[in-house]
Structure 1
Amino acid sequence: MDLAFLLGILLAFGSVGASVVLDRATFGGLLLPAPIILVFGATVFVGLAGGTVSDAISAFSAIPKALKGKKPDFQGTVDKLVELADIVRHSSLIKLEEQAETIPDPFFKTALLGAADGTDSEELRGQLEEEIHTQSRGAKAAAKFFQTLGGYAPTIGIVGTVVSLTHVLENLSSPSKLGPMIASAFVATLWGLLSANFIWLPIAARMRRLNELEHERMNLIVEGVLHIQAGLSARALGERLRPLVPAGKAKKGKGKSGADE
């Protein structure tokens, strides 16, 4: 599991907690059930109203994958493609069908089987790019849902504050109660801002980033498989693919990367 998201969120909330302690305030004044329920509940329901039930279900179902944050193995993908190029060069494209059975990634397997079947390169590219588009569209929809929640939450927090301030105005005859009541009224705004910037927007940003990385890995597979189908040597393939690896994701080549032409 990639701890970046959980660590970032915990440290963000920890910073708020440290601020509370340094200001000698109390956590009890912030953890009020009514504004928290209003902000989180209304935000999700308004987000649901702006889309469909299936959008919401798909978006929340994608959270575990986003939290797990399994980053694509670009170097491993390049090494595998170079290895396959070497195998094909010493035998034939038919070998890709056998190799495909050892690969758990459905997209990679589909690409290899298409090349092994002798599918025209342009047709195969079109099929694979359409599959990439379909996969990417689902991830973007989930990210957009949480982006929308992040937009609604602060406004809903203000709504909660206005509701509470209305109650404050009803009790002007009790000056001793006004201070605590006004303080409580602004808790809704606080949770609107916190939920948007500490939860919904980071989830959306993380989903978008993971989708971008996976998109790049799938494009790497497409280029690699098409070059293998065209008969490119293992060494030349490695040199062709490594510039496509995102900055910071490349490592020193190994294994078949240096295979003979």
Structure 2
Amino acid sequence: MDIASIIGVAMGIILMLLGIITSGGIQTVGNFLDVPSALITIGGSNMAVLASRSIPEYVGALKSYTMIFKVAANDTKGVIKQIIDLSNTARKEGLLALEEAAGALDDPFMKKGVMLIVDGTEPELVKSILEAEIDSMADRHKSNYSVFEDIAAQGPAWGMIGTLIGLVNMLNDMSDASKIGPSMAVALITTLYGSIVANWFCFPAAGKLKARSNAEYMAKSIVIEGLLSIQAGENPRVTEEKLKSFLSPADRAAYEADNGGGATEGGAE
């Protein structure tokens, strides 16, 4: 489980409730619960986004929310190690030896690339096929996190719509001055709900999903770069140095520590 997401989402609502309770007492929590305001703000913002999407796309995006609580499976350093192992195999035994090595790969994307190379596919075509796949993946991911971005953009707007509806109702009945304050409070709750929808629920989800998508895209880009280097017959050490450029300084140091300072077996000419 992704502890950061769990803490962030849980503590967001807990701290908000603590703020309400410490400022006015626990009895004031009910002042912030209003069904009509929720219907207008949460319902309106979601329906506005649904109107711009298909139902499967919208439902699929909502289901992807649970992914922010799962730890990403991308292991960039492990991917580089696999590529270098394949590079050493190709250098020692030839490209056709990669067909057997591909059987031990768990990553379907890497396996697909290796088999394209074994089949003698032209490098430009290999690159084109694999890049088309990761571009398609990125588009699917964007269709998910953009739904949350759109709901976040709509939330405050629908909160204002709810506020205006409340103000209209209040101004139409000002005969009892004692009701003006409570009516104004209810009108403002919709604005509060819009801000909560945007900043507690949607923006964090969109940011986490986008970061996960970018990380996966980078991992697959490393695979493409590595496989093309293997196909070009480059020295495994050169390939390793090229792929390490994708890593942050901390990850690069960790990779080198795990792999003997980055030395590549069979890297010498």
Structure 2 length as normaliser, TM-score? 0.89
How far did 1:255 drift?
Answer: 4.4
* Aligned 8 A contact 1:71 1:210 in 2: no
| C-alpha RMSD over aligned residues | 2.0
Residues 1:58 and 2:64 are matched in the alignment? no
Letter in 2 for 1:32: D
Cα distance, 1:90 vs. partner? 2.1
Q: Which moved more, 1:121-130 or 1:231-240?
A: 231-240
**Mapping 1:114-153, distance limit 5 Å:** 114-153=116-155
Quote the residue 1:14 is aligned against: 14
> Unmatched 5+ residue regions in structure 1?
none
Q: What do the CA deviations read for 1:118-161 (whole angstroms, capped 9, x no partner)?
A: 21111101111111111111111222221111111101011112
Change (3 A) 1:117 1:214: same
Residue 245 of structure 1: SS of its match in structure 2?
Answer: coil
Superposition pairs of residues 21-32 of structure 1, within 5 angstroms: 21-25=21-25, 26-32=28-34
Determine which of 229, 249, 252 is the counterpart of 2:255: 252
CA shift, 1:101, in A, is 2.4
Query: How far is the alpha carbon of 1:5 from its aligned partner?
Result: 2.2
1:63: how far off?
Answer: 2.2
After the TM superposition, which of the residue ranges 128-137 and 165-174 deviates more from structure 2?
A: 165-174
1:44 maps to 46
Report what 2:157 is aligned to. 155
What is the one-letter code of the residue matched to 2:233?
G
2 CA distance for matches of 1:12 and 1:134?
34
- Quick one: distance in 1 between partners of 2:49 and 2:250? 36
Normalised by the size of structure 1, how large is the TM-score? 0.91
d(CA) in 1 for partners of 2:249, 2:164: 48
Q: Which stretch shifts more, 100-109 or 218-227?
A: 100-109
| SS at structure 2 position matched to 1:218 | helix
Question: Following TM superposition, where does structure 1 have runs of at least 4 consecutive aligned residues deviating by more than 3 angstroms?
Answer: 246-250, 254-257
Residue segments in structure 2 that go unaligned for 5+ positions in a row: none
Which moves more between the two structures, 115-124 or 168-177?
Answer: 168-177
For 2:95 and 2:63, locate their aligned partners in 1 and report how far apart those are by CA, in whole Å. 39
Percent of pairs with identical residues? 25
| 2:175 pairs with one of 173, 176, 183 | 173
Q: Which residue number corresponds to residue 86 of structure 1?
A: 88
- Contact kept, 8 Å, 2:2 with 2:68, in 1: the verdict is no
SS across alignment from 1:244: coil
Match of 1:231 among 209, 220, 233: 233
What is the rounded CA distance, in whole Å, between the counterparts of 1:249 and 1:226 in structure 2?
A: 23
1:79 is displaced (CA, Å) by 0.9
Once the two structures are superposed, what CA deviation does each residue of 1:26-71 show, in whole Å capped at 9, x if it has no partner?
2211122221232111111110112222321332232233432415
Which has the larger displacement, 66-75 or 146-155?
Answer: 66-75
Return the offset for 1:243. Answer: 0.9
Tell me how far apart the structure 2 counterparts of residues 59 and 117 of structure 1 sit (CA, whole Å): 37
Tell me which moved more, 23-32 or 212-221: 23-32
Mean alpha-carbon deviation: is it higher for 134-143 or for 88-97?
88-97
